[in-house]
Amino acid sequence: MTRRIHSLLLLACLLVLNTGIAPRAAAQSSEPVPTPFSTNVQTEWLHEVLPLAETFGDKQGEPAAWPGYRTNPHSRQRELIGYAFHSADVPPVEPGYSAPIDMLVGVDADFKLTGVKILDYEETYLRIKGDFLAQPDLLRQFRNKSISDEFQIDQDIDGIAGSTVSVFAIARGARNAARQIAEAYLDYDPGDPVREARGARTKELMSGSSW
């Protein structure tokens, strides 16, 4: 009898875990990421955009950035894994529809974006739609995206209806600034910008053609 009670209790616990905690975690992942409307960067925000970093150094360098570190599981030595930076510290800043969009961005040693957090913006739709850039799907698509990618709206980046300029500013602003940070601190080779631009234009023209 006691064994049966224990089995029932175990089953009840499993049901709670499966139907309670897991769905809540899934729901949280699709919740909006409210914009703080502040450029006073908090430590927890750095962890949001460079989540594998255990600690961060002081903001330093030119362009300015926060180096992120973690302990190597094999050597037990501290190692650099990437940088977090405020877009305003890496000019030229990509303009939005009404004004530049302040972002916190992370880039790792593999030249991939690790996160984008909107800090502040003054787009026209903000007065109409509220915090419309707080959509989790908008920001999630930048994670693990190579900074060598094109970041073309409606091609490798999904836009927001009626807010193409804003999304373009986020995408190109994050990409271009991350390239500068990676070139300055991570030995990133940006290649020939003229050849890259021509190649992107050729792809754009070909994608619009019917054969």
Given a cut of 90, is residue 160 above it in pLDDT?
A: no
Burial class of residue 170 (count of CB atoms within 10 Å of its CB; 0-12, 13-18, 19+): buried
Q: What is the pTM of this model?
A: 0.76
pLDDT score at 206: 47
Given a cut of 80, is residue 161 above it in pLDDT?
A: no
pLDDT score at 127: 76
Give the model confidence (pLDDT) of 108-152 as tens digits.
999 999 999 999 998 877 777 788 888 889 999 999 999 999 999
pLDDT score at 132: 85
Task: Give, for 138, the enclosing helix (H) or strand (E).
Answer: helix 136-140
